[in-house]
Amino acid sequence: MKKVLLTIGIIVFLVGAFVFYNKLYLPPLPIENISKKTVIEKINDSETRMVKLSNENGQEWYVIKERDTSAADEMIKEMLDQIGWTFKQKDGNGLFFERHGKNLIVATQKWTGDYLLVKIPVNFNE
């Protein structure tokens, strides 16, 4: 009986370690070509609170380590202001910008309590 309990305990521990190591407990990502573990590693290894993740389907994806969405919005506004985009308004999870008569919509999505995903059209820096 002790061997059975010990075996079950070891299996539960190994499964738990696998889930924790691979960050399987986190919500799914809307980005297909990057794992949850990679996202967490990139942001934790970075000296900044905003890190570019990937380009996918004409969108650039970023992750921001910030609990406060208004502080994250300010980070996005500052980044885009540096390349000439003027903030116009916020509506829901969208931030609307304008430059030279063109419009840009930046979408944000709370991924976990500590992380916010940001989706920007790939041509925003042209």
CB-CB contact of 96 with 104 (8 Å): yes
User: Which tens digits make up the pLDDT trace of 109-121?
Assistant: 999 889 999 999 9
Query: Which of 77, 27, 32, 89 lies closest to 50, judged by CA?
Result: 77
Q: What's the pTM value of the predicted model, to 2 decimals?
A: 0.81
pLDDT score at 96: 96
Q: Which residues pair with 93 in a beta bridge?
A: none
What the block records as the tokens of 52 is: 């570019």
Query: Which of 83, 46, 80 lies closest to 64, judged by CA?
Result: 46
CB-CB contact of 66 with 42 (8 Å): no
Q: Which domains, and CATH codes, for the chain?
A: 31-125 (3.30.310)
User: Which tens digits make up the pLDDT trace of 36-90?
Assistant: 889 989 998 999 889 999 988 889 999 999 988 899 999 999 999 999 999 999 9
